[in-house]
Amino acid sequence: MKLIFAIVNDDDAARVLSVLNRAGFGATKLATTGGYLKSGNTTFISGVEDEQVDQAISLIGQNARKRTQLIHDTTSMGSFNTMSMPLEIQVGGATVFVLNVERFEKL
């Protein structure tokens, strides 16, 4: 058995959860924050059988899309001048961790 941690953008969370549930995967949904933008993410935790890992990761990857976002980077120029420069960064997609489960009990 494996434990999957999948971190996805909040914009994709409902779609990812729906697809996982329709495929028979149970998942716990956690609101998380992190990354360069300190923006909202959703972390899914799901216990799956070893042979189901690739299917679960594929479903997550197909439904957590990458996109570009324009942000304004504020760089201080001396003590009084501040310059705002637009930066295009890539957000979204999924970060997935797969861990071995030594023991599982449903009480």
In a domain, 24, yes or no: yes
Q: What is the DSSP string of 4-31?
A: EEEEEEHHHHHHHHHHHHHTT---EEEE
pTM of the model: 0.78
In a domain, 107, yes or no: no
Please, which pLDDT band fits residue 88 given cuts at 50, 70 and 90? confident
Number of domains into which the chain is organized: 1
pLDDT at 61 over 80: yes
Residue with tokens 């957590």: 64
| Token duo for residue 14 | 């409902």
Contact present, 86 and 94 (Cβ < 8 Å): no
Computed over every residue of the chain, the mean pLDDT equals 85
In a domain, 59, yes or no: yes
Distance in angstroms (rounded) separating the CA atoms of residues 91 and 54: 23
What CATH number does residue 86 fall under? 3.30.70.120
In a domain, 106, yes or no: no
pLDDT at 74 over 80: no
In a domain, 84, yes or no: yes
Complete edge-to-edge strand list for the sheet that includes strand 94-100? 28-34, 39-48, 2-9, 94-100
In a domain, 56, yes or no: yes
In a domain, 105, yes or no: no
The range of the structural domain enclosing residue 31 comes to: 2-100
pLDDT at 27 over 90: yes
In a domain, 51, yes or no: yes
- Worst-scoring range by mean pLDDT, 7-11, 43-47, 50-54? 7-11
